[in-house]
């Protein structure tokens, strides 16, 4: 059961730099250090160094500080801890569950939907989520210099059907602001692009990322910026996250949230309702609730469709319609997400 209330105390906070880049560089990358921060003994969890070698552990301190010390089932901890379940193999779970390799026409671009296109801005994330559908993505093949980005810009210029560019990754906000400001200015000069969507988890895991430097470039052009956050559990939102979100909304950005339905983390209607309420309090609209993508290493997070539909039905009874995210699944080679209900 996800833990939304508990007598356990939060992890002991340590003093952290106000600079987001320093916080990023100081992310915890070892299982032992993470467990030690939370006063947990290794025998309380089925951790796996092998899983950590296949997909490294990475979690910034502000996110750890929202975990409950002494709770081995903490819903934030379970999202980031490498465990033996990840080593299960099943033919139904693979390294490219959305077949994105078929839609990667040139380095840095994933073009799988009509009228919009994803730019793989950064190969890095501030946090490594164990259920990530891009945990095996060939980022090295999509890494490019500023000069090579001109090729991606030419691709966008030539396809006049594209009206929206989505900054994705990795986490696009792991890139530096000088580069992002340059790229955004170039895109704004392409007359058929109307909107810029930024899909990011960085404001959640390191709220200091939303600083004046970010706000300057994100609001400097004629493009309408939309920020899509990724938050799975209400415990991820503390006062610092709420303050970062407020900076986004004060700057006139629309802020949406997408979640993934995850076993033992948010797989009950009460936890999801609490998340939607908290998001709304912060000025964020719940957008999508994704079913887990069948990515190798994440099958233990997955739920049967019948269970997902049952939870979703209960959620609909707890909330007004505008707080209920759409329950969706991504089916490879379709032009949009597919509604499950």
Query: Which residues in this chain contact ligand SF4 in the complex, by CB under 6 A?
Result: 125, 127-129, 132, 134, 169-171, 201, 230
Angle (CA) 173 332 131, round 5°: 50
Cβ proximity to ligand SF4: between 127 and 255 the closer is 127
Minimum Å gap between C-beta 337 and ligand SF4 is 16
Cβ proximity to ligand SF4: between 170 and 225 the closer is 170
Cβ proximity to ligand SF4: between 40 and 59 the closer is 59
User: How far is the first Cα of the chain from the last one, in angstroms, to the nearest whole number?
Assistant: 24
Minimum Å gap between C-beta 236 and ligand SF4 is 12
Cβ proximity to ligand SF4: between 56 and 185 the closer is 56
Cβ proximity to ligand SF4: between 8 and 124 the closer is 124
Cα gap 191→39, rounded to integer Å: 55
Cβ proximity to ligand SF4: between 193 and 206 the closer is 206
Cα gap 81→48, rounded to integer Å: 9
Minimum Å gap between C-beta 281 and ligand SF4 is 23
What residue spans of 5-145 are helical by DSSP H?
Answer: 20-25, 31-37, 49-54, 61-64, 77-80, 139-142
Cβ proximity to ligand SF4: between 3 and 128 the closer is 128
Minimum Å gap between C-beta 19 and ligand SF4 is 20
Minimum Å gap between C-beta 126 and ligand SF4 is 7
Question: Which residues does 104 contact at the CB level (< 8 Å), separation at least 6?
Answer: 110, 142
List strands edge to edge, sheet with 224-230: 109-113, 116-122, 164-169, 195-200, 224-230, 254-260, 285-290, 326-329, 338-339
Residue 210, class by beta-carbon neighbours within 10 Å (0-12 exposed, 13-18 middle, 19+ buried)?
A: buried
Minimum Å gap between C-beta 192 and ligand SF4 is 27
Cα gap 61→47, rounded to integer Å: 20
Angle (CA) 76 81 85, round 5°: 120
Minimum Å gap between C-beta 165 and ligand SF4 is 17
Strands 285-290 and 326-329 come out as parallel
């Amino acid at each position: 059961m996800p833990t939304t209330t508990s007598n356990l105390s939060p992890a002991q906070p340590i003093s952290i730099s106000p600079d987001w880049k320093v916080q990023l560089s100081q992310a915890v990358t070892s299982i032992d250090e993470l467990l030690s921060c939370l006063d947990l003994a290794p025998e309380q969890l089925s951790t796996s160094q092998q899983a950590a070698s296949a997909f490294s552990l990475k979690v910034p301190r502000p996110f750890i500080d929202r975990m409950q010390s002494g709770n081995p089932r903490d819903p934030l901890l379970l999202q980031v801890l490498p465990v033996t379940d990840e080593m299960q193999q099943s033919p139904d779970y693979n390294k490219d569950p959305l077949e994105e390799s078929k839609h990667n026409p040139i380095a840095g671009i994933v073009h799988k939907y009509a009228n919009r296109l994803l730019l793989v801005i950064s190969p890095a994330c501030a946090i490594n989520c164990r259920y990530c559908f891009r945990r095996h993505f060939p980022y090295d093949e999509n890494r490019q210099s500023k000069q090579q980005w001109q090729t991606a810009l030419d691709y966008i210029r030539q396809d006049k059907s594209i009206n929206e560019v989505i900054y994705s990754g990795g986490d696009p906000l792991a890139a530096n602001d000088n580069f992002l400001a340059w790229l955004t200015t170039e895109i704004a000069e392409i007359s058929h692009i109307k909107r810029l969507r930024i899909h990011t988890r960085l404001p959640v895991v390191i709220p200091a990322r939303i600083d004046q430097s970010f706000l300057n470039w994100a609001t400097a052009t004629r493009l309408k910026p939309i920020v899509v956050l990724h938050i799975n559990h209400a415990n991820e939102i503390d006062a610092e996250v709420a303050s970062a979100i407020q900076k986004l909304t004060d700057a006139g950005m629309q802020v949406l949230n997408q979640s993934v339905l995850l076993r033992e983390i948010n797989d009950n209607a009460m936890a999801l309702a609490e998340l939607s309420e908290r998001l709304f309090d912060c000025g964020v609209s719940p957008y999508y609730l994704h079913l887990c993508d069948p990515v190798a290493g994440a099958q233990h997070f997955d739920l049967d469709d019948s269970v997902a539909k049952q939870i979703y039905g209960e959620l609909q009874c707890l909330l007004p319609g505008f707080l209920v995210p759409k329950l969706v699944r991504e089916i490879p080679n379709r032009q949009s997400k597919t509604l499950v209900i």
